[in-house]
Copies of this chain bind each other. A is one copy, B any other.
Amino acid sequence: MRLLLVEDEARLAGALRRGLSAEGFQVDVAADGATGLDAARDGGYDAVLLDVMLPRMSGYDVVRRLREEDNWVPVMMLSAKDGPHDQADGLDYGADDYLTKPFSYVVLLARLRAMLRRGGEARPVVLRAGDVALDPATREVTLAGQPVGLTPREYAVLEYLLRHPDRVVTKLELLDHVWDVDAEDPNLVEVYVGYLRRKLGRDTVRTVRGAGYRIGG
């Protein structure tokens, strides 16, 4: 499932992009109306999430132009304007749904699913490094295609490493993110990296002496 997100507010765009990616969507971002319209025109998207207040061309105009050009890709408008007429305008210009900021992420997802129901299934995003693959959706980890059983802690460590590939991750960083706000003993991390190496092979996680660990790269 490919989504086009047209949103100029960088922080919101980033957050949505990450959240939706985790749900298995391929998300492209356009930062203004004109680029968004061009991207949507090229097609290939299963749905478009469209902010209303955009530089260069408003979301209303984008969806209107698309519909004028007979492009019926499902469009969900996102807007801080919650006056009844704003909603009505968006929907009458051809949007399929209209969500008011601030919105709950759960609602966005549910409405998105409802909108996409005519289409197929979401393709999962899989984190990879070498021949190790981790699928956050199914929580499955494979080594060269073979499933590997990991304990929750092991899984959490591996996931964090895979989400920050190709760079050194310090032990304290791992302690902070994988353990609760208390653990201070770096040896804990060493122990769990040891477990992972035993299950996934000696070289999947490399030690950077004096700095931390690195996966991939």
Contact = CB atoms under 8 A, between A and B. Distances in A.
Interface in A63-103: 84-85, 87-92, 95-98
A137 interface: yes
A34 B140 CA distance: 44
Contacts of A118: 96, 121
Contacts of A98: 111
Instruction: Classify chain A's interface size.
Output: 35 or more
Interface of A: 84-85, 87-92, 95-98, 104-107, 109-111, 113-114, 117-118, 121, 123, 137-140, 151-152, 166-168, 208-211, 214, 217
A69 to B, nearest CB: 17
A88 B117 contact: no
B139 A211 contact: yes
